[in-house]
Amino acid sequence: KLINDSMGFEVGDRILREVANRLAGSIQAPQWLARLEGDEFVVVVPDAPGHQVTQLARRLINVIARPYQHQQAELHLTASAGITTHIANVPEPLELIREADLASAQAKQSGRNTWREYANELASDVNTRLSLRTDLQKALVNDHFSMHYQPLINGFTGRITSAEALLRWPHSDRGYISPSVFVPIAEESGLIVPLSQWVLHAVCRDKAALNRKIMADFPFIINISPLYFQHPRFVEELTHALATHNLSPQDIQIEITEGVLLERVDHTISKLSTLRELGFSVSVDDFGTGYSSLSYLKDLPVDKIKIDSSFVRQIAGDRKSAAISKAIISLAHHLGLKVVAEGVETEAQYWFLKRHFCDEFQGHLFARAMPMEQLETRLRE
């Protein structure tokens, strides 16, 4: 992007082609290489032991880091690699790419020119799970978590409207561990309650600090695990946290998943109504991936739904995903709900959704999750 901006698209494109050539020259059959959108490439390494894969990643990063000649100048690029490995039960290609992509985002965050492994083997190994559980407990006591915030963009004005709070756990031995690995471990061990309380207070603290600096109508969105949502003291703890930090329900929005509907539907509906009467806005996350049918939407007292990134990702290439996304937007609008698209990574996805009147957007095309200080800088721009 930097090269495109400063030297023009043609130079950027030529260099990307050279990157592709260098990569192609550094792998050998049965390995293969594909270019995803933009500056992302995928390398598939069949039937190789893990250490060979990491060696290859290191080699490819070095190959990309060698200087590029442009007229009299030397240009330098950095590369970040994400690795996912599977021994059995290999998921679908798009899921594999998603895992590798998450890992590469972590590599990028750890300073580029490096690689990270997706934590799937972590999640499947019983001993690792047990030791992670202990580590989670310690991390809670020692306050070793932090929050990152990912902006949501209004489809009409293009401005940042709010930000989703996403939990981060830098683990001392294992590097950064994804919440999609440790949140389930917290859920099965009961640690999800204290962890959720930690998140609630951390986000309220950040929001109160932001209110003191930038007086903006700018809510933070919190993900609430179904287990914490069902907790008898959830609403009480939520309102108490707001009061402690001098906030109002307009400052914090709630995001739930269809998982809350798996048990005690009546109970869930009445809790949601209470939340809305108190003035909270509620969204349904990962919409379309759960077990529930579409019909429950009409009875659910919520304000927004989020089209799951698995549909968004396939919009440009797959007619069915495009049709589902269009139908979700139209259905939601007819029911008086707003629609957010998550995981928007390309212009093509964005324009498709915009053309079909999606209200808000979230994804790497606009911004990744970032620490509080960076968010503040973005908001002042």
Nearest distance in Å: CB 338, Ca ion = 15
Residue of 84, 65, 86, 87 whose CA lies nearest to 76: 65
The 77-116 contact track toward ligand C2E, x by CB under 6 A, reads ---------------------x--x---------------
DSSP letter (8 states) at residue 212:
H
Q: Does 146 bind ligand C2E (CB under 6 A)?
A: no
Number of residues that bind ligand C2E (CB under 6 A): 23
Among 35, 86, 364, 378, binds ligand C2E (CB under 6 A): 364
343 three-class SS? coil
Alpha carbon distance 342, 223 (integer Å): 14
Q: Cβ 285 to Ca ion, closest distance in Å? A: 4
Name the segment binding ligand C2E (CB under 6 A); options: 135-143, 209-217, 320-328, 343-351. 343-351
Sign, Cα dihedral of 179, 182, 186, 188 = positive
Does residue 252 belong to the site contacting ligand C2E (CB under 6 A)? no
Query: CA 237, CA 197: separation in Å to the nearest integer?
Result: 8
Q: How far is the CB of 288 from Ca ion (least distance, A)?
A: 10
Q: Give 347-358 as a DSSP string.
A: HHHHHHHHHTT-
199 near ligand C2E, judged by CB under 6 A: yes
> What is the spatial distance between Cα 380 and Cα 371, in angstroms, rounded to a whole number?
15
Burial of 380 (0-12, 13-18, 19+ CB in 10 A): exposed
Nearer to ligand C2E, 178 or 268 (CB): 178
**Segment (H or E) for 287:** strand 282-287
Toward ligand C2E, which CB reaches closer, 58 or 201? 201
**What φ, ψ does residue 172 adopt, rounded to 5°?**
-65, -35
Task: Round to whole Å and give the CA distance between 357 and 354.
Answer: 5
Instruction: State the maximum Cα–Cα separation within the chain, in Å, rounded to a whole number.
Output: 71
Interacting residues with Ca ion (CB under 5 A): 223, 255, 285-286
Residue 286 Rama label (left phi>0; alpha psi -120 to 50; beta): left
**Least distance (Å) from ligand C2E to the CB of residue 363?**
3
Can you tell me which of 3, 77, 122, 167 binds ligand C2E, judged by CB under 6 A?
Answer: 167
What is residue 247's three-state secondary structure?
Answer: coil
Phi then psi for residue 176, to 5 deg, are -75, 130
Q: Which of 135, 251, 345, 360 binds ligand C2E (CB under 6 A)?
A: 345
Cα distances (angstroms) measured from residue 246 to each of 165, 202, 204, 215, 274: 19, 14, 9, 14, 20
- Scanning 239-247, 271-279, 314-322, 337-345 for contacts with ligand C2E by CB under 6 A, the matching segment is 337-345
Stretch that binds ligand C2E, among 209-217, 291-299, 327-335, 360-368 (CB under 6 A): 360-368
- Site residues for ligand C2E, window 297-336 (CB under 6 A)? none
Applying CB under 6 A, the span of 24-32, 178-186, 327-335, 353-361 interacting with ligand C2E comes to 178-186
* Residue 303 Cβ vs ligand C2E, minimum distance, rounded to whole Å: 17
Q: Give how far Cα 310 sits from Cα of 226, 288, 325, 331, 341, Å.
A: 21, 9, 10, 19, 10
Binding mask 253-292 for ligand C2E (x = CB under 6 A): --------------------------------xx------
Shortest distance in whole angstroms from residue 311 CB to ligand C2E:
13
The answer to whether 244 contacts ligand C2E (rule: CB under 6 A) is no
Options 80, 114, 120, 223; binder of ligand C2E; rule CB under 6 A:
223
- The interface partner of residue 360, options being ligand C2E, Ca ion, none and the CB cut-off 5 to 8 Å by kind, is none
CB of 285 to ligand C2E, least distance (A): 5
Whole-angstrom distance between the N-terminal and C-terminal Cα of the chain?
19
Task: Give contact residues for ligand C2E (rule: CB under 6 A).
Answer: 98, 101, 150, 165-167, 178-180, 183, 199, 223, 225, 285-286, 342-345, 362-364, 369
